[in-house]
Chains A and B, each alone.
Chain A
Amino acid sequence: MAKPVEQRHRVVIRFAGDSGDGMQLTGGRFASETALLGNDLSTLPDFPAEIRAPAGSLPGVSGFQIHFSDHDILTPGDAPDVLVAMNPAALKTNLRGLPNGATIIVNTDAFNDRNLQKAGYEANPLEDGSLAEFRVQPVPLTSLTIEALKEFDVSKREAERSKNMFALGLMSWLYSRPTEGTIEFLERKFAKSPEIAAANVRAFRAGYAFGETTEEFAVQYEVRPAQLAPGTYRNVTGNQALAMGLVAASVQSRLPLFLGAYPITPASGILEELARHKHFGVRTFQAEDEIAAVGAALGASFGGALGVSTSSGPGVVLKSETVGLAVALELPLVILDIQRAGPSTGMPTKPEQSDLLMVLFGRNAESPVPVLAASTPGHCFDMAIEAARIALKYRTPVYLLSDAYLANGSEPWLVPDAADLPDIAPEFATEPNDGDRYLPYVRDGATLAREWALPGTPGLEHRIGGLEKEDRTGNISYDPDNHDLMVRVRAQKVAGIAADIPEQTVDHQEGANLLVLSWGGTRGPVAAGVRDAREAGAKVAHAHLAYLNPFPRNLGGILRSYDRVLVPEMNLGQLLKLVRAEFLVDAVGFQRVRGVPFTSAELAGAIERLA
């Protein structure tokens, strides 16, 4: 008995439950099913820093939001159309910002006195009329799951734990998702416990069947595949893309990858991912601290590896002396900063863009370092290769910025062919360059990069260090003019990279006098906000920066060609300061530091006020 099917162009669903309820897994599986169906999608996990906050408590709520559509989309969605709330705490923490008329699917079994009390509810919100403006669909998820699994040889507790799969099954039916992938996934995941695997599959199927048969759900929805560029796609998070990008950079540079890292949220996933790629010759080193992590990476660079260190702001700050040394040594080094909200420990799982000025200027003395920023999860792949290219070609440390939003958020990614990736292999010195002597600070006339001679090369033995070096010879020098020269040459070398990066592109609109200038992980929300503002009649152009130092060579001209420049950032105006100082333009900022991505609506509002 098929139910009526309604078409939707786009849907935002948020799965929310206790940390132990498996919401990330549930959301991840729903995203995979959605990807296989061919929808465009964007996801945003939202989990607490605590691994297991007390069960049922407000801080213990873990969420996963997915936005999917039949057209291209840019963000995980401002607010959910459907909230799946596994307990009262999940309901309470996610009600804020839920639009009127949104659907709430609740696990009624979890709304007992104890859980209500833990969530701070004095009365049961399912009964007191406080949810009147929403469409509440009560489902006794826990008891239905236990009932479905009564023939299985699993404990009641284990049966209960499968309620997330019941919920996933129900949502898969509701939005007409394919189920084979999830069943295969469960069989693979629990291969060692076939009974648990079978129980989860049964729970998943029972949820699906419940949707088909229950009268609670009268309509099934369908979101048709989106028109995406042809090719092979997979769903990637920013951290996965960074890890793959680093492996690709190693292959394309023909240098072994050496990763030095210390565990830190939200960057640890890159270390763990790369540790699984040893068959690429990848050496991963979990160091004793952040300083040793980057130190070992620099030591490996000295030996001819592609040295990389990954961290987040509170760890990056500890690396600054070593980055300064790499500036002086003029050795390649890639440092990834997966930014999170701060200062200090801040909010470890929440995104922010507030490390820009730190990576640019957070070192002693004149210490120029190229800075790049990834725009989307998939873009992380390209920028990892680009960061390595610049580091290797110019013998310089390079910072690549991502953030907690890109790190864990995912999107469909058009998988590139390895054959199409750039060759970034550096050349090494093999011969003396001054008669029979080898001088380590002889530079290439075009790039100003010094030669790179690896230990093990006969006849090129040399010493380098953090003390100021004499031009060409690299000998220790306190000569005033030499220091002035070396400071300027290092600065020129980095500034000169502007000639070797793409010109800035602008998404211009005829008649626009307002330019929105954004950077890094806000690309999706800002582009969506620009789109919304245009639909509302505003004339607005948009430029999104991936290169923060040096800036693209045409950026000044672009900025000066608009009457007004709006710089939205998840900080208190860091890029804003830079462009005002660098280009003398009277740009204004739009800033939010709430630890959550911009919504397109708030950006559209800010744009419409200026356009």
Chain B
Amino acid sequence: MTELPVLSAKDFKSDQEVRWCPGCGDYAILASMQGFLPELGIPRERLVFISGIGCAARFPYYVNAYGLHSIHGRAAAIATGLAASRSDLSVWVVSGDGDALSIGGNHFLHALRRNVNITILLFNNQVYGLTKGQYSPTSPLGQVTGPTPMGSIDWPLNPVSVALGAEASFVARSIDTDRAHLTEMLHAASRHKGAAFVEILQNCNVYNDGAFDHVRDEKANRIVLRHGEPVRFGAEGERGVRLRSGGDVELVDVADVGEDALLVHDAHGEGVATAFALGRLGYPLPGPLPIGVFRDVVRPVYDELMTAQLEDARATRGEGDLDALLHAGDTWQIA
């Protein structure tokens, strides 16, 4: 076996000047990704980043791998075609809240439910940045933007809820500036076979500054989910999450209820109800917010199913013979 060359973050930087606004959360995500990719151990030529439109969608230009900057909302659809026909590639979709949940909502749902072997990163900053600050499908009620001078009247989507509702087999959430946690989520997502979804809370310091400060700045509000461990948070782990009858979850003081009463996180369980309840914790914002892997279950993977059918067809019918195809059915001879 030949040794793979040892790569560093620098090897994954393209020669393009990064053009996000100074202070944008995207810089931190890009740096985490470029730090993570050498650890991933996949050769550069087998990595493909596909994006739609928006600030986040510039991401592929800055990563020295194969990249495709496509059209608004369609990255998941384009990635589906690539991933379904090229099982040897590691395909990453980079999108934003408008791209994935508004114009591309349909493709997002179907890529997840099909369990296409791609990783979808959704940079959620609750605003349209590239078009200069309009409200997005994740903007909270009342958000004042250009088109909503009196506040948004559109109830927001919670990306984790949408992904779980779309039967996603892997759903996680992280924070742009938490490099260690984000890297851990990228690793977990890349290990998952099938569609992996990671919401990354990302700050747009120009049009929606501070949207997630209550978790970005206040670490005590981060409810870090770890499979098999009781769900605790707070500076000293003094608070926790308890399952209520009826399937909801609630925040409790550990001192009041005792550690044994806390919910033990199960990311691999069959049921999705508890993951869904956890995904909704902290909504409407602000409030303590879970980050980590909500759900990570094994389901048949789209490209493998598709390839298996091709192999079955070849096994039962033999490799396709064009002359046989053309001459199939009723034929007759004219002399």
The 8 A-B residue pairs with the shortest CB-CB distance, nearest first, are A465-B69, A299-B81, A296-B81, A280-B320, A295-B77, A463-B67, A278-B313, A292-B77
B107 touches A234 (CB 8 A): no
Q: A278-B310, A280-B322, A288-B109 are in contact. List 12 more A-B contacts (CB 8 A).
A: A229-B334, A234-B328, A247-B322, A279-B320, A292-B74, A299-B78, A299-B79, A302-B81, A303-B85, A321-B74, A415-B331, A465-B70
- A284 and chain B: residue at smallest CB distance: B306
Q: What is the bound-complex CA distance between A421 and B326, given in angstroms?
A: 12
Does A104 interact with chain B (Cβ within 8 Å)?
no
Interface size on A, residues (CB 8 A): 71
Query: In the complex the two chains form, what is the Cα distance from A292 to B52 in whole Å?
Result: 13
Question: Is A73 positioned at the interface, with any CB of B under 8 Å from its CB?
Answer: no
Q: Is the CB of B71 within 8 A of A258?
A: no
Q: Does A235 contact B (CB under 8 A)?
A: yes
Whether, in the assembled complex, A27 has its beta carbon less than 8 Å from a beta carbon of chain B, the answer is no
Cα–Cα, bound, A460→B83 (Å): 19
**Chain A residues near B66 (CB-CB < 8 A):** 455, 461-463
Interface flags, B83-97, vs A, CB<8A=1, else 0: 111101100000000
Q: Can you list 12 A-B contacts (CB < 8 A)?
A: A32-B330, A247-B320, A279-B316, A291-B77, A292-B77, A295-B77, A298-B78, A305-B81, A418-B322, A455-B82, A455-B89, A465-B61
Flag whether B210 is at the interface (Cβ < 8 A): no
Expressed in whole angstroms, the Cα–Cα distance for A325 and B78 within the complex equals 11
Stretch of B43-51, B229-237, B265-273 at the chain-chain interface: B43-51
Residues of A within 8 A of B332 (CB): 35-36, 38, 232-234
Asked if B322 and A289 sit within 8 Å, CB to CB, the answer is no
Q: Which residues of A contact B64 (CB under 8 A)?
A: 461
The reply to whether the CB of B106 lies closer than 8 angstroms to some CB of chain A is yes
For window 171-200 of chain B, which residues contact chain A by CB distance below 8 Å?
none
A303→B82 contact, CB < 8 A = yes
> In the bound complex, do residue A302 and residue B68 qualify as a contact, i.e. CB atoms below 8 Å apart?
yes
State which residues 263-295 of A face B: CB under 8 Å.
277-283, 285, 287-289, 291-292, 295
User: Once the chains bind, are A321 and B319 in contact (CB under 8 Å)?
Assistant: no
Partner of A295, one of B74, B88, B326, B327: B74
State the CA gap A303–B86 with chains docked (Å).
7
Bound Cα distance A231, B333 (Å): 6
Min CB–CB distance A572 → chain B (angstroms): 32
- B70, A325: Cβ atoms under 8 Å? yes
Docked pose: A415 CA to B60 CA in angstroms = 47
Known: A283-B84, A465-B60. A288 touches B106 (CB 8 A): yes
Note all chain A residues with C-beta closer than 8 A to B107.
288, 291-292, 295
In the complex, the answer to whether B84 meets A296 with C-beta atoms within 8 Å is yes
- Residues from chain A with a CB closer than 8 A to the CB of B69 are 463-467
Q: B67 touching A321 by the CB < 8 A rule?
A: no
A258 vs B20: C-alpha distance when bound (angstroms): 36
Return the chain A residue nearest B46 by Cβ.
A456
Residue of A nearest to B319 (CB): A279
Shortest CB distance B161–A (Å): 20
